[in-house]
Amino acid sequence: SEVLADTTGKRPHAIDEVFIGSCMTNIGHFSAFGEIVKDAPPSQARLWVVPPSKMDEQELINEGYYAIFGAAGARTEVPGCSLCMGNQARVRDNAVVFSTSTRNFDNRM
C-alpha cells in the first residue's frame, strides 16, 4: 500500500477502483461524490459506496443519492465496516484505489 503523496514520479495513469466509505467519513463526502458522478459519463473504475451508519444510508436514500450511485454503477455495501477491514469483499489485486478510508494497510482492501 502506498499513499499517493509518496508516489511522486510514478503516479498511476488511471484509477481502477474508488471507495467512498469508512467510519471516518461524513455525509458530505457521499453527497459530494454523488454530485461528481451525477450525469457524468460511465466510469471505467469500479465504484464502491459504504456509508458509516444506517442513519447516513437512509439520509442518502431520501436525498436521492443512492439512485445516483446506482445509475453510476456503484456497488453499495451494508453500512459499517467493509473494505477498510477486508470484510465482505476486496478490491482486485494490484488495483490503483482512490479511497476515503484511513486504513491504508496491506491486505485491508
- pLDDT score at 14: 84
**How much is the pTM?**
0.79
- pLDDT score at 87: 64
Query: Is 11 domain-assigned?
Result: no
Query: Is 8 domain-assigned?
Result: no
Query: Is 62 domain-assigned?
Result: yes
DSSP result, 35-77: HHHTTPPPPSSEEEEE-SSHHHHHHHHHTTHHHHHHHTTPEE-
Query: Is 87 domain-assigned?
Result: yes
- pLDDT score at 25: 84
User: Can you give the CATH number for the domain in which 85 is found?
Assistant: 3.30.499.10
Kindly report, residue by residue over 4-29, the tens digit of the pLDDT: 666 666 666 788 999 998 888 889 99
Kindly report, residue by residue over 32-88, the tens digit of the pLDDT: 999 999 999 888 999 999 999 999 999 999 999 999 999 999 999 888 877 766 666
